[in-house]
Structure 1
Amino acid sequence: MFRKLRRWLNQLWQWFKGLWSSSPSSFADTATTWPTDTDYEMRFMSFLEGVDRGKSQVLKEWESLQQEHSEEQWIAWLKRFGQKVTQRSEPNEELAQRLIRLGEVGCGELGAVAKAIGEQLQPASPKISSDEDNPQFWFDRGKQLLDEADQKALEAFDRTLELDPNHYRAAINRGNALMNLGRHEEAIAAYDHALELNPKADLAWANRGNVWFDLEEYEQAIASWDRAIELNPKDLETWHNKGIVLGVKLNRFEEALSCFDQTLALQPEDVQTWFNRGIVLAALNRWEDALESWSRATDLQPDFQDAWINKGVALQKLGRYAEAIAANQRAINPS
């Protein structure tokens, strides 16, 4: 799995349940089991990419990570990762800043370990001055305040831009603060300003799309996400979000399917995407293919109750009644 605006996923499931009559079920959490440190690293790096999106979003993603593996497993891996990266001779300032930022956001012991690793990766970095004429001081202050005191964060980013009018990351985070405050039109203007400063800032395009989604301007959202994807074709969250909007809001199922296929090409073991892909295929009456997607989901997560329910429906549609009964029994007792 990866970064997603998960508040949309329940809409997809509730929408699709209306396609048939079946027993109500809860929306199951998902998990995957990956065997190697490389897999952990890929997932964690995707997580770190969103560390500037605000505390609440980061903490939601941390909850998602713990559905995939326990907190203890993540911390054990992160310590191994830290030993590896701190032994390298070449500096990695960007990684260091993201790890330190994660520690500032929270995430308990994981954040503390991440921050310690980040500080080791930049031992020679000078301390940020508290001088009120230092734009970096105000930018860091704004990031710390984001989600907890958004008005004060906004003021800090305003000060950053007064001191450094070309600080596009401050403009992006200013948009995030405005979004959190419910000032959607101003948020879009902030992202537009960031894009004037750096037209290749894919995060600004992605967040701009998120605001358009909240405004229920879905075509505008897709247009922004398309630009984000053009700049960063590996943006898993944006591929997935686009797929959900195309499927749930616009009934453009073939295009939604293409988005989910692209997501899976980048992350083949994402359980939730296999599940959602099956929903779109069922909406297209492609029950054999839907069954295959849900079977993939249950292969990856055998206790995925909703996937077993859907498999039962698909098998019934295909006239395979004995297998449908067996799938329904697994839904009742997925373990």
Structure 2
Amino acid sequence: MLRGIWQNIWATLAQTLLKWFEHLFGWGFWSPSQVSKVQPPRIKAYKKKVEPLKLLDDADYEFLFMQLLEGVAYGWEQKRVLRFLAALESRTNEAEWVAWLRRFGERLLATPMPNYQLAAQMISLGEVGCGNLGEVAKEIGKRLLRREENEQIIHFLLEDVELNGKQIEAQAAELISVNDYLSILPPNDSLVERIAKLMQIETREAQEIIEALIDRFFAINAINNKSQEWFQKANQQYMNGNILAAIASYDKVLSIKPKFHDAWYNRGVALKDLGRYEEAILSYDRALELQPDSSETWNNRGAALRSLGRVEEAIASYDRALELKEDRHKNWYNRGIALFNLGRIEDAIASYDKALQLQPDFHQAWNNRGNAFMKLGRFAEAIANYDKALEIKPDKAEAWNNRGTALFNSSHLEEAISSYDKALSIQPHFDEARQNRENVLRFAQFPRG
């Protein structure tokens, strides 16, 4: 269905772009069917005058430049960039491009709006290598990075700074511009030494230090972009059911960016899906080193531990998850399962109760709460819980089977058989329900004395 939707979107977009290119470049496009219908004129009455192509205005330049930057962001290399520019040679030339770009750059530098992404893309264009246009784009991109307010570069490297004798906390440091840092670097020898040591550079010149910081920032940004590409690819592979390929892609992400919490977490989920619980736990542990307050990670770690039979450790993980976020009904539910497995039935019921307070239509919790009451021999309460689960989800074969067992233990044999029949009508190959039904029939035929 999604594929069909995208095909319609691309078809509409293609038609729009076709008309735009025809207007902008003066190109004419013919489909094969149109060509076959064209007939040569019988009489050549006159020679049609060819209108000169319209020169680009500033709006055209800006639109095309943004398309060029998007192309570079998606991986265009030098040949592709030069081909794009060559297609416009009848409408403009490099000198006109550069003249427009300098005007555009002055407008960008005059606006107070932050332009980190655009600055990075302009620097990328310069690094592709497309002549004077690329060099000017790179120059403007670096100027944009230098003058941006709320600059993150120094905040990334320093936990705090001292400005005019006043200590500034890390979060407040974000509010200081690079120009402010330039003004305080010369008299602040300790800060200069600190930055130079972090950057592993010899110079003590403020401007050179800032240039080095910008280069480092851009390098970090490039790494982040690459890791994000692999991360999105891994997520898509996982969604498509290609779990092994997803794990390999998460490994690639982590080889680029080892401290990527979400990649460690998602890798753990994928490993757990394959039943590789020990490896999953190791991934969750790495994720928790980076983000110890992730309730979801503690919960999933508990599930992996429970699958290995390490139930006490699982409960400790669930408890930690609930300390961090006590309003997660699934965390209470999973804790209830672990407590049930330890034979702590009353505690399990209490956990299921918490889950149901948060999510009253949570049919799995009603079903498992029924199991807990049946374990205690309180069959009427068990049946009531199964009925509640089936009220929410009537096609839950497991609940029908469990209800049948509770009815059998309550000596309601016909109703028990009816419940097993219902389970088998939903899930014909439900062996446990079939075996339970046969046991009830045998008992009815040969009741105990």
Interval of TM-score (by shorter of Structure 1 and Structure 2): 0.5 to 0.7
CA–CA distance in structure 2, aligned partners of residues 88 and 244 of structure 1: 50
For residues 112-261 of structure 1, the aligned pairs below 5 Å read: 130-146=256-272, 148-247=275-374, 249-261=375-387
Q: Structure 1-normalised TM-score?
A: 0.52
Contact 1:184–1:215 (CA<8 Å) still a contact in 2?
Answer: yes
For 1:241, give the aligned amino acid.
Answer: N
For 2:241, give the aligned amino acid.
Answer: G
* Residue-pair matches, total: 213
For 1:220, give the aligned amino acid.
Answer: D
Residue 312 in structure 1 maps to residue 441 in structure 2: yes
Residues 285-327 of structure 1 show CA distances to partners (whole Å, capped at 9, x for unaligned) of 2344334434544655678743653563586599xxxxxxxxx
Q: 1:151 to 1:233 in 2, by over 3 A?
A: same
CA–CA distance in structure 2, aligned partners of residues 88 and 202 of structure 1: 40
**By how many angstroms is 1:86 displaced?**
7.5
Aligned partner of 1:100 in structure 2 is 238
Higher alpha-carbon deviation: 271-280 or 147-156: 147-156
Contact 1:191–1:208 (CA<8 Å) still a contact in 2?
Answer: yes
CA–CA distance in structure 1, aligned partners of residues 333 and 5 of structure 2: 29
For 2:261, give the aligned amino acid.
Answer: P
CA–CA distance in structure 2, aligned partners of residues 228 and 263 of structure 1: 14
For 2:402, give the aligned amino acid.
Answer: N
For 2:393, give the aligned amino acid.
Answer: Q
CA–CA distance in structure 2, aligned partners of residues 98 and 238 of structure 1: 31
For 1:275, give the aligned amino acid.
Answer: N
For 2:358, give the aligned amino acid.
Answer: L
**By how many angstroms is 1:128 displaced?**
5.9
CA–CA distance in structure 2, aligned partners of residues 174 and 282 of structure 1: 38
Q: 1:137 to 1:271 in 2, by over 3 A?
A: closer
> What secondary structure is seen at the aligned counterpart in 1 of 2:259?
coil
Aligned partner of 1:275 in structure 2 is 401
Contact 2:261–2:290 (CA<8 Å) still a contact in 1?
Answer: yes
Q: 1:105 to 1:302 in 2, by over 3 A?
A: closer
- Higher relative CO (Cα under 8 Å, sequence separation at least 6) belongs to 1
RMSD: 3.8
**By how many angstroms is 1:250 displaced?**
1.0
For residues 323-334 of structure 1, the aligned pairs below 5 Å read: none
Q: 1:162 to 1:253 in 2, by over 3 A?
A: same
Residues 176-235 of structure 1 show CA distances to partners (whole Å, capped at 9, x for unaligned) of 233234432222121111112211122211211121122111112221122222222333
Q: 1:263 to 1:136 in 2, by over 3 A?
A: same
Q: 1:137 to 1:270 in 2, by over 3 A?
A: closer
Contact 1:297–1:307 (CA<8 Å) still a contact in 2?
Answer: no
When Rg is computed on C-alpha atoms for both structures, the one with the higher figure is 2
Residues 51-70 of structure 1 show CA distances to partners (whole Å, capped at 9, x for unaligned) of xxxxxxxxxxxxxxxxxxxx
**By how many angstroms is 1:133 displaced?**
1.8
Q: 1:88 to 1:232 in 2, by over 3 A?
A: farther
Contact 2:417–2:437 (CA<8 Å) still a contact in 1?
Answer: no
> What secondary structure is seen at the aligned counterpart in 2 of 1:103?
coil
CA–CA distance in structure 2, aligned partners of residues 287 and 294 of structure 1: 11
For 1:274, give the aligned amino acid.
Answer: W
Aligned partner of 1:266 in structure 2 is 392
Structure 2 residues not aligned, in runs of 5+:
10-233, 247-251
Contact 1:212–1:220 (CA<8 Å) still a contact in 2?
Answer: yes
CA–CA distance in structure 2, aligned partners of residues 239 and 257 of structure 1: 10
Q: Percent identity?
A: 35
For 1:103, give the aligned amino acid.
Answer: G
**By how many angstroms is 1:261 displaced?**
0.4
For 1:153, give the aligned amino acid.
Answer: A
